[in-house]
Structure 1
């Protein structure tokens, strides 16, 4: 079994991609190379990326070229990939909303109509097999995540159960996981069982609550004999900085000192918020500008330090000098302040 511990990662969307469809329909090999180099500077060893079922259906060859290129670039940098096959968050993926570039909302994948109609699942099954067969090298792919945040909605849960079986049959050696928001929802999936449990903790109010949530998740996962990853986190809600701006330094030390087997912060590249409602408020997330400058050197140092937890007791290497630029690019067109 591939190691599922000591994972230190980030969620990855290219700078100008607002959703998974844009990430792959407008894939830029040079931008991907640069961005993965930034991840390496942070001592990260994994990235979590949402794939695009709809772009795969529209242009399988282009998707294959982009996905294979991304896997190769990650492998060359010692970074493993956690591909997410399907997404429950966002708006319905109508043709009008599937735009390769420009402002666009987060998109569900597949559509709600497909999720509710099992007789439409042949396409997702083929996509799942196709991805699983490309992800059998444990040095390249960390695990397969079937869906981000399926929740407890019965049609989605049944869809995920079916795709877990398909993936397990296609590539039985590949670890499987689901992007559960709540740690207890991992137990909805038992045939096959998940190889690793996930939970999300984006904006805990206080340090005390963050520590408690992590402790409870680790205890729950250990009771079921599973490693556990925190696959979405951002910052403490209560901190001196504007609540619409990144502040990874408020939460990174807590995560780095925890007993978690892995974590992925939201997100590597500086971008407007994923959800359109938050985007309109002016929220931004991320660390790196496209040119490699960081939004916050304090955040960069905190993230790099927390990624060294496998070398506990050693002083973190602070030889990296960060170019800091604490303002969003003009093209983000985000409003708000506090």
Structure 2
């Protein structure tokens, strides 16, 4: 593995030494409701976005050395600061670590330094099962015109999921990354796996593992253990996003695992306010703080105006999908994979700012700022 070529690097060496130190110790326990509440009550109301710079089509282009863009990130996080945002959810990728582990850690540190300058803490996402299941390093393809997330890639990809001999590589990735930043106050938390059993209907469904959920369920359990073995001071979570949450016996094994293993319960919901409230009420029975790590799809009724005041009232951490219009093209809706759109959709699906920093809707930005800043 190329990882071993970087043992001389001080940053990676420290991370790996930390991994060796914790390898023989038991993982820390999942936080109790009291422990979770004690941590959460020390935080401000958390409000931010899922973030990728406009210059990156996916996680690989964001983090690879030749396309990492700290100047653009600095500019865009300044825009986030201007809205009163204090956190961002940011996706990593295991392939970048496999090929340039020391470089990835250095670039993560650089992003954290930029974010800290703007009063923003980062919720990192380690793995992701959405969109293209065939990630490959190197120069990334250009966006398909007017198509939502046309270049976003899964982590790990289909080949790695099918090959259990790659799991030790994934374990090193989890432990080295979390181990390096386990006590770093700039890191808000760790979202260990985004929508792990997403079947990617209508885009990459025919290329998915036919038994994807059965393959990922035991691996996700391992990932939580690996993460807790790194002894992070920050919370671990993985957001439930699918199925019926009304009662414990209505949950599928995946949702049960994600709730049982998460220090803070997180969820995704792109529905209007009435259904959103029901989902929150279902999750409140676990008596843990809640983080909504994906919401806001304007044509579906999931808008800032409808949802954000309720989350402020309930003190639910709020991360809308999409921040600035760019290569990810998430101003276009999910159905842009099947339906043709022009340069500008009738109503933006996601995103807050145009590429030049102009708000899509100044009423929205005023609302976000007002809610974020009021005590």
Shorter-chain TM-score bucket reads 0.7 to 0.9
- Partner-residue secondary structure (3-state), 2:73: helix
Residue by residue over 1:267-320, the C-alpha shift from the partner in whole angstroms, topping out at 9 and shown as x without a partner, is: 1112312888636744553122343222221221122233246x1xxxxxxxxx
Partner of 1:305: 370
Partner of 2:230: 170
Partner of 1:194: 262
Correspondence list, 1:1-338, <5 A? 2-3=39-40, 6-25=45-64, 26-95=67-136, 99-100=139-140, 102-103=142-143, 105-137=151-183, 139-151=185-197, 153-182=213-242, 186-189=255-258, 193-202=261-270, 204=271, 206=272, 210-213=273-276, 215-237=277-299, 248-271=303-326, 272-273=329-330, 278=336, 281-282=340-341, 285-308=350-373, 311=375
Instruction: Indicate how the Cα distance of structure 1 residues 74 and 111 shifts in structure 2: closer, same or farther if over 3 A, else same.
Output: same
Q: Distance in 2 between matches of 1:238 and 1:174?
A: 33
**Structure 2 length as normaliser, TM-score?**
0.71
Partner of 1:319: none
Question: What is the aligned length?
Answer: 295
Query: Contact 2:46–2:317 (CA<8 Å) still a contact in 1?
Result: yes
Instruction: Indicate how the Cα distance of structure 1 residues 307 and 154 shifts in structure 2: closer, same or farther if over 3 A, else same.
Output: farther
Query: Contact 1:149–1:180 (CA<8 Å) still a contact in 2?
Result: yes
Q: Which has the higher relative contact order, 1 or 2, with Cα contacts under 8 A spaced 6 or more apart? A: 2
Instruction: Indicate how the Cα distance of structure 1 residues 238 and 288 shifts in structure 2: closer, same or farther if over 3 A, else same.
Output: closer
Partner of 1:331: none
Query: Contact 2:296–2:304 (CA<8 Å) still a contact in 1?
Result: no
Q: Distance in 2 between matches of 1:308 and 1:201?
A: 24
Partner of 2:20: none
Query: Which consecutive unaligned segments of at least 5 residues does structure 1 have?
Result: 240-246, 312-338
